[in-house]
């Protein structure tokens, strides 16, 4: 009897609709959805994560168009699919209230409210480039405004510009 009960419970837990492979046709980064196809049927509004509720806290992996993904139904409803596994990722977007973190092959963006890490670093480097000092000698006080290693700061600034994004 115990074996029969275990088999019956196993059958109850088995899903009628399984995860299946598809190809990504297009991605809507604003909505957090995509269109996919299994070569026979095109599925629209496939969610990039299992929960899209309109809240500020979101985490999306954006698949490369043309890549393969595995999709699964939410509550076995083929009209409510989400991507479970990705073969190739174009970028990611993480939002936690006023903080945003984006990563792509172009670099990354770290933003809190209206400030980005890139703009803060640029502001810091500009401030360092514009530094001046009061020099006191036996002849009297004077100002110096020549930054001897300005080219090094310009090179570092360019490296940050290549590494970080503003959008």
C-alpha 66/C-alpha 24 separation (Å) is 5
Q: What is the pLDDT of residue 22?
A: 97
Please, which pLDDT band fits residue 66 given cuts at 50, 70 and 90? very high
What's the fold here for domain 2-97? OB fold (Dihydrolipoamide Acetyltransferase, E2P) (2.40.50)
pLDDT digits (tens, 9 = 90+) for 37-49: 999 999 999 999 8
Q: What is the pLDDT of residue 131?
A: 75
- Name the residue ranges covered by the structural domains of the chain: 2-97, 113-163
Q: What is the pLDDT of residue 134?
A: 67
Q: What is the pLDDT of residue 122?
A: 87
What string of H, E and C letters represents the secondary structure of 34-85? EEEECCCCEEEEEECCCCCCCCCCEEEEEECCCCEEEEEEECCEEEEEEEEE
Evaluate whether 99 touches 156 at the Cβ level (below 8 Å). no
**Lateral strand order in the sheet of 99-104:** 58-63, 89-96, 99-104, 107-112, 115-116
Reference 131, options 119, 120, 145; nearest CA is: 145
Helix (H) or strand (E) holding 27: strand 20-28
Q: Is the pTM of this model over 0.85?
A: no
The pLDDT of residue 69 is above 70? yes
The pLDDT of residue 5 is above 70? no
* Mean per-residue pLDDT of the chain: 85
Please, which pLDDT band fits residue 110 given cuts at 50, 70 and 90? very high
């Amino acid at each position: 009897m115990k074996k029969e009960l275990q088999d019956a419970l196993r059958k109850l837990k088995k899903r009628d609709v399984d995860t299946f492979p598809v190809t990504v046709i297009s991605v809507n980064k604003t909505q957090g959805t995509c269109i996919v196809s299994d070569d026979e049927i095109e599925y629209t509004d496939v969610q990039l994560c299992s929960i899209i509720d309109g809240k500020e806290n979101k985490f999306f992996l954006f698949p490369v168009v043309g890549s393969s993904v595995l999709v699964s139904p939410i509550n076995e409803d083929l009209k409510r699919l989400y991507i479970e596994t990705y073969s190739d990722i174009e970028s990611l977007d993480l939002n936690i209230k006023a903080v945003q973190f984006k990563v792509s092959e172009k670099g990354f963006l770290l933003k809190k409210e209206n400030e980005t890490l890139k703009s803060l670093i640029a502001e810091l480097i500009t401030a360092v480039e514009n530094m001046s000092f009061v020099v006191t000698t036996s002849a009297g006080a004077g100002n110096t405004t020549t930054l001897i290693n300005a080219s090094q700061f310009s090179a570092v600034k360019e490296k940050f510009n290549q590494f970080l994004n503003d959008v």
